[in-house]
Structure 1
Amino acid sequence: MSDDTLRSIELTKIGDARFKATNARGGETFMGTGGVDPDFTPVELLLAAIAGCSAMDVDLITTKRAVSTKFEVAAEGHKVRDDDGNHMTGLRITFDVAFPDGPEGDAAREFLPRAIEQSRDRLCTVSRTVQLGADVAYGQA
């Protein structure tokens, strides 16, 4: 694979059960175990990544027709432990999007379901990876 396909982050421990993720552009986000700190848990970051990826797709597609007056996305799922170990089930992404009155808003409203389908079925790298499954190799430096 070429370098232009590579995506990566560095994760650094910054406290008890707290970590900082840094991307190649210097952006940072924080995660923890979901105790008393406000940091996102890894599962919450997964949900945010799925919702954010699809939200960006849908927004880019629908904005060609009209700019939304409301754009909210909810992501949820159940963390379970069973014979397959810990994993998420019942993942659900729900869009609550509104557009202005008029022909442009009508066009965006009409296209919204198709934009969501395109993100789900083809465009969103995060949800597509979850849906298709991908091997994760573990190792030591």
Structure 2
Amino acid sequence: MATVNVERTDDGGFVATNDRGARVAIGGGDDGGVFTPVELLLAALGGCEIVTIEPLTAKRGHRLVRLAVRVEAEKVEPTKLGAVTATYEIELPAGDDEAAAVFEAVAHRVHEKYCTVGRALREPTETIQVLP
């Protein structure tokens, strides 16, 4: 089970804390130095995919020199996102003619099957329960 605690801070901001003590500041779009909830969702998707892709490509002997992802989504309504786009920036190892094909195959499988966050966005999940 994954658990995160989100609470208001003394200064009126918000912070999410996981069971291991890591913290992420959360705020509105005008707050500097913090993530908005939508940005956290996009970071979760990009993070889920990239932390799964990297070890799988390296395990196949094709460690990429650079691997980054930019995740974008436009709000099509005040409380609804449109299409989410993940654009990868990669630098292939010099002399490795197979690295691009391995990356593409792994990235596709991760996107379709192995990224929990992506699956949660694409497939219906059980209803969220709000308990007092």
- Normalised by the length of structure 1, the TM-score is 0.85
Q: Distance in 2 between matches of 1:97 and 1:89?
A: 26
Partner of 1:86: 79
Q: Distance in 2 between matches of 1:132 and 1:140?
A: 24
1:40 to 35, 38, 52: 35
1:58: Cα distance to partner? Answer: 1.1
Deviations 1:47-82 (A, max 9, x none): 00000100111111111222221111000011121x
1:98 to 66, 91, 102: 91
Partner of 2:69: 73
Partner of 1:139: 130
Identity rate, percent: 27
Segments of 5+ residues of structure 1 without an aligned counterpart are 1-5
1:126 aligns with 2:117: yes
Q: Counterpart amino acid of 2:108?
A: E
Q: Is the 8 A contact 1:98 1:109 kept in 2?
A: no
Segments of 5+ residues of structure 2 without an aligned counterpart are none
1:62 aligns with 2:57: yes
Q: Distance in 1 between matches of 2:114 and 2:131?
A: 32
Q: Distance in 2 between matches of 1:133 and 1:40?
A: 26
Once structures 1 and 2 are overlaid, which stretch shifts more, 35-44 or 63-72? Answer: 63-72
Task: Say which SS state the counterpart of residue 73 (structure 2) adopts.
Answer: strand
Task: Say which SS state the counterpart of residue 7 (structure 2) adopts.
Answer: strand
Q: Counterpart amino acid of 2:91?
A: A
Deviations 1:24-66 (A, max 9, x none): 1111111100213220100000000000100111111111222
How many residues get paired? 130
1:11: Cα distance to partner? Answer: 0.7
Q: Distance in 1 between matches of 2:72 and 2:126?
A: 23
Task: Say which SS state the counterpart of residue 90 (structure 1) adopts.
Answer: strand
1:106: Cα distance to partner? Answer: 2.4
**RMSD (Å) for aligned C-alpha atoms:** 1.5
- Normalised by the length of structure 2, the TM-score is 0.90
